[in-house]
């Protein structure tokens, strides 16, 4: 299962329909990145490039030329090369770019210096993501300067550069039915992997063993690549928000927080579950856990079309502040504690982020001065947490070192929202039942 050719074509047409008359859009692919000496990182295509092409090779450039007689969609790519393909794998080549990827016209990437200036010439506006790839920025300026050098011979250089991201990222924010199906698959795979981690957890195992369980379970189902670096934090390590060392032994009586999710066909999932290493929550752990869960439920209730981006966050803050007062961890009235940001000692991040091809996906959170209004097709995470630092002397020692986050992926629908990641056990009873085997 992957995005259909029709959808890639529809995306290119939608982008071209937004472009001003007589303009050109230029978008380079990702390049291979060296890890060490002659070993490369696994290649990962640029999401904007893939979103418009479905083309998964490095050293390629997409060019869109609305209304061009000889074809609007031009792709530069590597030529076929028998020798190189034996060593490094299949290449579509310009012919394959047309036949298999729907390009109207395709050229070898080595000819781009000769061909692209001619395609730019006469177009008044260039849509391009300046500053993302400094090498490519320089090439583009060279091509434009080459046209500028010929103005006395009648050449017309472009006079305006527009930010391609602005248009493309707004498109990416609204997920189609095909995209949501892939995100459901990513979410289901990761949810089962989290359950596997719960089932196989035991005191004495190491954090990296649970990381391995998650990665293995995801890879077995086609989610070979993690959407981000997995966080597996036992005990107080859960209070380090971006803890990725994952090298400590899990202790009887501690909680473990796992924030991990796979990517499936270029779409991310992002799940956090927190559970007791020995399968049974202590009284304090349960109190904090249920408070985070209540905050998450309150936030998810606010994920409905017409509400603005910040409403779920505000709802989670309110529940957490009231709950922390009730448990004696904060003192004062909710209003003052919220106004003074006192809760930020326990809950220092925001409720979530857009989710899509990128785990922290593209799309604006504000339009002008106003929070963005939630609309069907948007996908976001809802991930409140409470983290009680080991050196927080304002609370009784029994609370210190407890860190809990609960994170789900939620798609906004016409009626409200749907949680994509509800396959991962979440209530205290569900978790304890799964861990009891």
Least distance from ligand GLY to the Cβ atom of residue 96, Å: 36
Least distance from Mn ion to the Cβ atom of residue 276, Å: 20
Which of 225, 308, 318, 353 is catalytic? The answer is: 353
365 is an active site residue: no
Which of 296, 381, 389, 395: binder of Mn ion (CB under 5 A)? 381
270 lies in the binding site for Mn ion (CB under 5 A): yes
Which of 91, 349, 372, 400 is catalytic? The answer is: 349
Least distance from Mn ion to the Cβ atom of residue 228, Å: 7
259 is an active site residue: yes
Which of 121, 133, 259, 408: binder of Mn ion (CB under 5 A)? 259
Which of 37, 38, 90, 391 is catalytic? The answer is: 38
For the chain, the three-class secondary structure string (H helix, E strand, C coil) is: CCCCHHHHHHHHHHHHHHCCCCEEEEEECCCCCEEECCEECCCCCCHHHHHHHCCCCCCCEEEECCCCCCCCEEEEECCCCHHHHHHHCCCCHHHHHHHHHCCCEEEEHHHHHHHHHHHHCCCCEEEECCCCCHHHHHHHHHHHHHHHCCHHHCCCCCCEEEEHHHHHHHHHHCCCHHHHHHHHHHHHHHHHHHHHHHHHCCCCCEHHHHHHHHHHHHHHCCCCEECCCCEEEEHHHHHCCCCCCCCCECCCCCEEEEEECEEECCEECCEEEEEECCCCCCHHHHHHHHHHHHHHHHHHHCCCCCCECCHHHHHHHHHHHHHHHHCCCCCCCHHHHHHCCHHHHCCCCCCCCECCCCCCCCCCCEECCEECECCCCCEEEECCEEECCCCCCCCCHHHCCCEEECEEEEEECCCCEEECCCCCCCCHHHHHHHHHC
Smaller CB separation from Mn ion, 184 or 407? 407
Which residues contact ligand GLY by CB under 6 A? 228, 259, 270, 353, 359, 383, 407
Smaller CB separation from Mn ion, 184 or 409? 409
Smaller CB separation from Mn ion, 53 or 185? 185
405 is an active site residue: yes
Smaller CB separation from ligand GLY, 123 or 175? 175
Least distance from ligand GLY to the Cβ atom of residue 33, Å: 21
Which of 188, 311, 405, 409 is catalytic? The answer is: 405
105 lies in the binding site for Mn ion (CB under 5 A): no
Smaller CB separation from Mn ion, 337 or 379? 379
Residue 316, binding choice from ligand GLY, Mn ion, none, Cβ under 5 to 8 Å by partner class = none
209 is an active site residue: no
57 is an active site residue: no
How many whole angstroms separate alpha carbon 93 and alpha carbon 108? 7
137 is an active site residue: no
Smaller CB separation from ligand GLY, 232 or 330? 232
242 is an active site residue: yes
Least distance from Mn ion to the Cβ atom of residue 226, Å: 11
Catalytic positions, written as ranges? 38, 242, 259, 270, 349, 353, 360, 383, 387, 405, 407
Give contact residues for Mn ion (rule: CB under 5 A).
259, 270, 381, 407
């Amino acid at each position: 299962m992957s995005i259909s050719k029709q959808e890639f074509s529809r995306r290119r047409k939608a982008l071209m329909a937004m472009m001003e008359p007589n303009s050109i859009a230029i978008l380079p692919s990702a390049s291979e990145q060296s890890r060490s000496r002659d070993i490369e990182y696994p290649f990962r295509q640029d999401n904007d490039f893939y979103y418009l092409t479905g083309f998964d090779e490095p050293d390629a450039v997409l060019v869109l030329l609305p209304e061009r007689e000889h074809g609007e969609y031009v792709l530069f790519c590597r030529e076929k090369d028998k020798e190189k393909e034996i060593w490094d794998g299949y290449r579509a080549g310009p012919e394959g770019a047309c036949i298999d990827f729907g390009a109207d016209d395709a050229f070898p990437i080595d000819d781009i210096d000769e061909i692209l200036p001619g395609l730019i010439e006469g177009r008044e506006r260039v849509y391009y993501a300046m500053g993302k790839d400094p090498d490519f920025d320089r090439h583009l300026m060279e091509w434009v300067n080459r046209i500028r050098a010929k103005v006395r011979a009648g050449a017309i250089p472009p006079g305006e550069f527009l930010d391609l991201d602005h248009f493309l990222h707004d498109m990416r924010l609204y997920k189609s039915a095909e995209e949501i199906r892939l995100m459901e698959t990513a979410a289901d795979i990761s949810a089962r992997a989290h359950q596997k981690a719960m089932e196989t957890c035991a005191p004495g195992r190491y954090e990296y063993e649970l990381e391995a369980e998650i990665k293995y379970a995801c890879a077995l189902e086609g989610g070979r690549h993690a959407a981000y670096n997995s966080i597996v934090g036992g005990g107080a390590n859960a209070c380090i928000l971006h803890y990725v060392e994952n090298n400590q032994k899990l202790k009887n009586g501690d909680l473990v927080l796992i924030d991990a999710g796979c990517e499936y066909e270029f779409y991310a999932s992002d799940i956090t579950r927190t559970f007791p290493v020995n399968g049974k929550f202590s009284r304090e752990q349960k109190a904090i856990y249920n408070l985070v869960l209540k905050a998450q439920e309150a936030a998810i209730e606010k994920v409905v079309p017409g509400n603005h981006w910040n409403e779920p966050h505000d709802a989670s803050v309110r529940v957490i502040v009231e709950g922390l007062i009730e448990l004696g961890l904060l003192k004062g009235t909710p209003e003052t504690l919220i106004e003074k940001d006192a809760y930020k000692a326990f809950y220092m991040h925001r409720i979530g982020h857009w989710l899509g091809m990128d785990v922290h996906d593209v799309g604006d959170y504000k339009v002008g001065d106003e929070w963005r209004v939630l609309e069907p097709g948007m996908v976001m995470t809802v991930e409140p947490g409470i983290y009680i630092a080991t050196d927080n002397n304002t609370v009784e020692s029994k609370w210190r070192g407890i860190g809990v986050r609960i994170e789900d992926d939620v798609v906004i629908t016409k009626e409200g929202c749907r949680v994509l990641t509800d396959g991962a056990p979440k209530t205290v009873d569900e978790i304890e039942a799964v861990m009891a085997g």
